[in-house]
Structure 1
Amino acid sequence: MLRYTTIPVTPFQQNCSVIWCDETMEGAVIDPGGDLAKIRAEVARQGITLKQILLTHAHIDHAGGTGTLARETGLPIIGPHPGDQFWIDGLPQQAQMFRFAPAEMFTPTRWLHDGDSVPVGRSTLAVRHCPGHTPGHVVFHSDEARRAFVGDVLFAGGIGRTDFPGGDHATLIASITQRLWPMGDDTVFIPGHGPESSFGRERRSNPYVGGT
């Protein structure tokens, strides 16, 4: 079964998730935006053997620590979708703009596309391309655990911003209603910021997508 723990990192309190297969104890880090010492400490505490870095998208608070972590550990970088190449290229400027530590550049080992899958030990994550917040945003879904790691697509009571370059409100709403809702009302999602919620709760009460 897939397990996870969430670690808020960076001044933006971005939800970095450490995930692992409880049979093999092989795991991955989703969106290591920064504060790598905190992430490493949690990995050690759980006794996880990290095998890969997964990215939902390439905004600085989600991807800022990726290059450094990959260089220091030799881990492959999986994701996001190629639509976020320009955000990866702009990481140094993003770091400067938002007063983050300098971000090391990187090239993903594997780009992800809608319908792909990513193994984590004996568990499997399904990949959905969910643009709108960024063009290359992806979501990782574990059907067995009834969990989805959605980055900045959807929040408890909110949705991702669409006023950044490459963002589009209508596209984001379509991603939520056409690609997240079919995962099931009982699926709990881990957003990029803030508390967890379920797709059912957001369908009923989220002012931006409620009733869809």
Structure 2
Amino acid sequence: MQVRTRKVRFQVTDENGTALNGAKVITKAAKLNFPFGCGMNHFILTSKDYQNWYASRFKFTTFTNEMKWYSTERIQGQEDYSIADAMLTFAKENGISVRGHNVLWDDEEYLPEWIKTLSPEDLRKAAAKRTMSVVSRYKGQVIAWDVMNENLHFHFFEDNLGQNASAEAYAAVFALDPGTKIFLNEFNTIEYSGDQIASPVNI
């Protein structure tokens, strides 16, 4: 492991400018000068130790599951953002920037069960409603949006709504929150070169 270090020279004086030889100096980092973060889950809401540990170390986060569609609308038409709201409040109170993760997920396995039986027309309406709901709720409160999650490996929305489904999702999010950066979140893009689906060479 490489540690970035540099020699620093201190000169300690009294109010008259006289050098204080042998003075004891204690330094403490006030903040990191580069982005450093970690995923956060709902257990942080019930553990003060977890809160203190987390807030003392990280200034960026992504909620692991709590903002995802299957967490906020398990039953069609019954939205519940209470956990994500509480986590966002904690993050704000501690100066932690939050990434919006995610608006839609192209992997059928990680969608609400009721989504999987909808007709294409009803699916399009449900996806538009979901996008409007989550983006409008957290507009201006997150630093980025992961719009269509893992759409290099999976293609549920393309299979059901056409090949432009992801492009339409990105356009919708940008229209709702144009001041926030939008991303494609994927896996194996760098860490596993054997996965050619997500290889930067083929994108």
TM-score (normalizing by structure 2)? 0.32
Q: Pick the structure with more helix per residue.
A: 2
Higher normalized strand content (fraction of residues): 1
Greater Rg over alpha carbons, structure: 2
Structure 1 length-normalised TM? 0.31
